[in-house]
Amino acid sequence: MFRGKTLIVLMVVAAIAAAPAFAQDTGNADFSRFVALGDSLGAGFVSGGLVRGAQEDSVPALVAKQATGQDIRQPYVEPPGLPPLLRLVNLAPLTITQLPAGGAPQLDLNPLHQNLSVPGYDVGDALRDRDRGPTDLASFILAAPPSPNPPTQLELALAQQPTFAIVWLGNNDVLGAAVSGRVIEGVTLTPVSQFMADYSAVVGALKNSGADLVLATIPDVTFIPYVTTIPPVLVNPATNQPVTIGGQLVPLIGPNGPLGPNDRVLLPASAALAQGIGIPQAAGGTGQPLPDELVLSESEVSAIRSRTNAFNQIIREVASQTDSPVADIGGLLLEGAGNGFDLGGIEFTSDFVTGGLISLDGVHPTPLGYALAANEFIRVINQHYGAHIQPVDLYRFIFGSDASAIPSIPGASIAGFVFTEEAGQHMREVLRVDRPSTAGGGNGGNRDGGAKGRGIGSRLPGRIH
Amino acid sequence: MRSRWTSWIEPLLIGALVALVASPAFAAGFSIFENGSKAMGMAGAFTAQADDPSAMFHNAAGLAFQHERAFQVGTTLITNSKGDFEGAPPFPGAGQNGEQDDTIFYPSHAYWVEPIGSNWTFGLGFNDPYGLGVKWKNPDDWAGRYISYDVSLRTFDLNPTIAWQASPSFGIGFGVIGRWSDLELNRRIPFLNPFTQQVQDIGDAQLSSDLDSGYGWNAGILHKATPRFSWGLSYRSKIKVDYGGDGRFTQISTGIAALDGAISAQIPFDQNLPIKTSIEFPDQASLGLAYQVSRNVLVETDFNWTGWSSFDELPIDFTQNDAFDSSVPQRYEDANNYRAGLRWTTSPQSQWRFGYVYDESPQPEASVSALLPDANRNGVTIGYGYTGGLDFDVAFMYLKFDERTRNEDFPDGDVFHGTFNTTAYLLGLTLGF
């Protein structure tokens, strides 16, 4: 009897001791009905696809878990992912390819997802996109029954009468210009006036419904590895050092002649360069120019930068009008691309493959990168709402547990790489940037409103379970 | 029969040999104030007394009142009874704890006092005023292993001093300090495995300096203002030591031969790579006030200031391999400590001593780390001294570090959050001849 009593006392004590671990002080922020609006970044898109492991650690899921101890409802894709994820198969030359599809994607859907982030969505899509078939990515994420007039991302958020919402939109309003190598006003780049109207409308509607919000700045995508990894001059793949002829660097050839030092060559150009395209004949290449969609000219870079700054200014203005904090995700990327992050003596940067913060698609963060972003959201939520939410523990993202799954590696130096044609095509599909039939064609992008979320969705089977 | 020469050199040599081990940081920062067991018994509140050969460390002017040849040699045994770390998010995170090895350190001292004429006194001192030894258990798992798993810093000061008794109640002293120091830092080299995107250890780095030197000076005044009241002021200058040395990397296998090959092609393992670093040791000033309460009881209070802002960063410069350069921001701030001591003379031969010290940490929260986890400390001491035949002083100190939690970082520094808990015991023994 004594033992029984002791046991009960111990259990009560244990229960009391265990309880506070989940009851974080969320201050004035009420996480009881939490939703997230966003795009691929909010969805936890990694290495060219959506897959359960990474989705479970999406930024909205991490923030909500830290605040409440609860998991949120998200639409999950089982491995190998949708689309199947990219993987690194060889170090020298560094080769990235796509996992085999292995049959129809396996989905695990919930009614009324809290994380409503749809890869490919720009701000206008969050507000207006209803034009989607039953097999589109947007359909399974937003998971509304098929109807002639399905709800938008915003409407589905409002339907949950949210007390708190993450709004992490705007990334795709500039990303298309960077990955397509073409700046086309209204096609790859959203006009400022339209962005202002749409962004204010989304945030205003949520605020008016009574939700507290956290917003986020958008990164300057001219600093992502997709844009920064290949220099505009010839590099010896064996040494990873620039080639010089007569003491001079050898500029690659772009659509308008030799590239300048501030022009950018996009990641998928590695396949063309491997065939000698873009390399002067004098240096052993074919002398053919790299096509326009593989090059961002200096003026295109500066157009993207100034548009990013304009959007971020709008985001900050809307935040101040609605009394909402802003997570500086744009600043995080700049830090990663600059000095990097030092975690206990380990340096992490946004460098491609070796940096640890950006995944193999050269655009989206790794799970560690997302966890750092979640901590930035938590930091500003704590500051603004007087909350004391603990930051996400990064240890498991750095040391993990699956270190055994390392394939054998031929070769002996980490230099040069091939982002395979397959991988490049895959990224264009994911990012909904078609190869133009003619260089510089005005209809090069198929980003006319409402088409987002289809590139992937077209691969979906009709059967969703 | 012994010559004068051998009779004083022996204690110094013994002191030097005994001191050839790492010393931990046991006054705030990595200063060691326990350089004489008599002063230690009163928690170092000794600036206005300085009435034994250790005056060379505590207040050079104290020598001015010492008119007989004397030798002292002693050591302070220091042991961590506790040196724990509990990790916190974001890194290294909950459950990533650490524990320091229990190691005994013995910073040592030796002093020779030689009167010259009736008003002048010469002294030669040897002591270890700075030291650091932080060694973490289980370097394979210790979350701070990329910062440090074993660091040690040693200093040896040789301090010739001259003092002049200007009047029966007033003395001044001046000394020159030669400081020899070396340091060693052991840490692991992290590597982001590109296939798993997870971090593995690929090497061990041992950075060891030569025994390098720097020079400075010290000065003090001591005024016995009334038969009952005296005061003293002591100053020791900054000393910069520039170190040369070698960095040596040893490979740790990832378990994949090809990856190991790729790594060893990039990193010069098993070679001595020349390195340079430097430390500017801070200046220190002490003001002490002593009052003879009764025939047998004297009390002293001291205020010490240390110019720790000199310790701004610890740069490690690989002179021929810039890629491995690193610099750890420290950004110490000037700090004070407060000491109070009481001595109770129970007979002409014996004296009991008691003391209390509050030692303010110069270390800002953002630089509290595996390299050197500092904190404000409270110490209490008890000591006993005997004169007659063989003179000896013993002292014991219990030193409790405040719990120190790091929750912030320098913008250009690393992230290493958690709570450090440290407790130490010190036992001092000094013999006089």
User: What pLDDT digit, counting tens, does each position of A200-222 carry?
Assistant: 999 999 999 999 999 999 999 99
Fold category of B4-432 in CATH: Porin (2.40.160)
A254 and A191 both lie in a single domain: no
Count of all residues that appear for chain B in the document:
433
Instruction: Over range A153-168, report the average pLDDT.
Output: 97
β pairing state of A295-296 and A326-327: unpaired
Q: Are A344 and B147 in contact (CB under 8 A)?
A: yes
Task: Report the pLDDT value the prediction gives residue A419, as an integer from 0 to 100.
Answer: 59
pTM of this structure: 0.86
Task: Decide if A345 and B198 are in contact by the 8 Å CB cutoff.
Answer: no
B291-309: burial string, b at 16+ Cβ within 10 Å, e else? eeeeeeebbbbbebbbbbe
**pLDDT band at residue A456, thresholds of 50, 70 and 90?**
very low
Helix extents (H) in B47-126: 55-58
A219 and A290 both lie in a single domain: no
Domain-embedded: residue A11: no
A454 forms bridges with which residues in the sheet? none
Q: Are A380 and A217 in contact (CB under 8 A)?
A: no
Number of domains in chain A: 2
Q: Are B24 and B105 in contact (CB under 8 A)?
A: yes
Residue A315, pLDDT above cutoff 50: yes
Q: What is the CATH number of the domain that holds A310?
A: 3.40.50.1110
Task: Decide if A393 and B93 are in contact by the 8 Å CB cutoff.
Answer: yes
**pLDDT band at residue A22, thresholds of 50, 70 and 90?**
low
Tokens 């129809």 sit on residue: A104
**DSSP helix/strand/coil, A404:** coil
Domain-embedded: residue A442: no
A266 and A213 both lie in a single domain: no
Task: Decide if A403 and B196 are in contact by the 8 Å CB cutoff.
Answer: yes
Find chain B residues with C-beta within 8 A of A359's C-beta.
197
Give the closest of A344, A400, A403 to B147, CB-based: A344
pLDDT in tens, chain B (433 residues): 333 333 444 444 444 433 433 344 455 678 999 999 999 999 999 999 999 999 999 999 999 999 999 999 999 998 877 899 999 999 999 999 999 988 788 899 999 999 998 899 999 999 999 988 899 999 999 999 999 999 999 999 999 999 999 999 999 999 999 999 999 999 999 998 888 888 999 999 999 999 999 999 999 999 999 999 999 999 999 999 999 999 999 999 988 887 888 888 888 999 999 999 999 999 999 999 999 999 999 999 999 999 999 999 889 999 998 888 888 889 999 999 999 999 999 999 999 999 999 999 999 999 999 998 999 999 999 999 999 878 999 999 999 999 999 999 998 889 999 999 998 899 999 999 8
- Which strand (E) or helix (H) includes residue B74? strand B70-87
CA–CA distance, A225 with A350 (Å, rounded to integer): 7
The parent domain of residue A270 ranges over 235-295
Where among A250, A266, A295 does a domain terminate? A295
Does residue B194 sit at the A interface (CB-CB below 8 Å)? yes
Instruction: Over range A8-30, report the average pLDDT.
Output: 61
CA–CA distance, B317 with B323 (Å, rounded to integer): 9
Helix extents (H) in B116-210: none
Does residue B195 sit at the A interface (CB-CB below 8 Å)? yes
Task: Report the pLDDT value the prediction gives residue B10, as an integer from 0 to 100.
Answer: 41
Domain-embedded: residue A189: yes
Task: Decide if A344 and B197 are in contact by the 8 Å CB cutoff.
Answer: no
Range 318-357 of A in CB contact (< 8 A) with B: 339, 341-346, 348, 353-356
Domain-embedded: residue A146: yes
Tokens 């992937």 sit on residue: A456
Helix extents (H) in B243-344: 257-266
Domain ranges in chain B are: 4-432
A207 and A312 both lie in a single domain: yes
Task: Decide if A344 and B416 are in contact by the 8 Å CB cutoff.
Answer: yes
A56 and A157 both lie in a single domain: yes
User: Phi/psi class of residue A11: alpha, beta or left (left: φ > 0; alpha: ψ in -120 to 50)?
Assistant: alpha
Strands (E), B294-417: 297-306, 313-318, 326-329, 335-347, 350-359, 377-386, 391-401, 404-406
A217 and A242 both lie in a single domain: no
A171 and A75 both lie in a single domain: yes
Task: Report the pLDDT value the prediction gives residue A420, as an integer from 0 to 100.
Answer: 58
Domain-embedded: residue A140: yes
Strands (E), B293-334: 297-306, 313-318, 326-329
Task: Report the pLDDT value the prediction gives residue A144, as an integer from 0 to 100.
Answer: 64
Instruction: Over range A314-339, report the average pLDDT.
Output: 96
In the numeric block, which tokens belong to residue B413?
Answer: 């520094």
ipTM over 0.85: yes
A277 and A143 both lie in a single domain: no
A91 and A166 both lie in a single domain: yes
Closest chain B C-alpha to A216 CA, distance in angstroms: 20
Instruction: Over range A58-79, report the average pLDDT.
Output: 95
Q: Are A432 and A452 in contact (CB under 8 A)?
A: yes
A223 and A247 both lie in a single domain: no
Q: Are B369 and B375 in contact (CB under 8 A)?
A: no
A347 and A375 both lie in a single domain: yes
Where among A243, A278, A295 does a domain terminate? A295
Average pLDDT, chain A: 82
Give the closest of B91, B196, B258 to A400, CB-based: B196
CA–CA distance, A67 with A378 (Å, rounded to integer): 9
Range 86-125 of B in CB contact (< 8 A) with A: 87, 89-94, 96
Domain-embedded: residue A172: yes
Find chain B residues with C-beta within 8 A of A46's C-beta.
none
In the numeric block, which tokens belong to residue A356?
Answer: 């640890």
Task: Decide if B262 and A368 are in contact by the 8 Å CB cutoff.
Answer: no
Residue A426, pLDDT above cutoff 50: yes
Does residue A413 sit at the B interface (CB-CB below 8 Å)? yes
Residue A443, pLDDT above cutoff 50: no
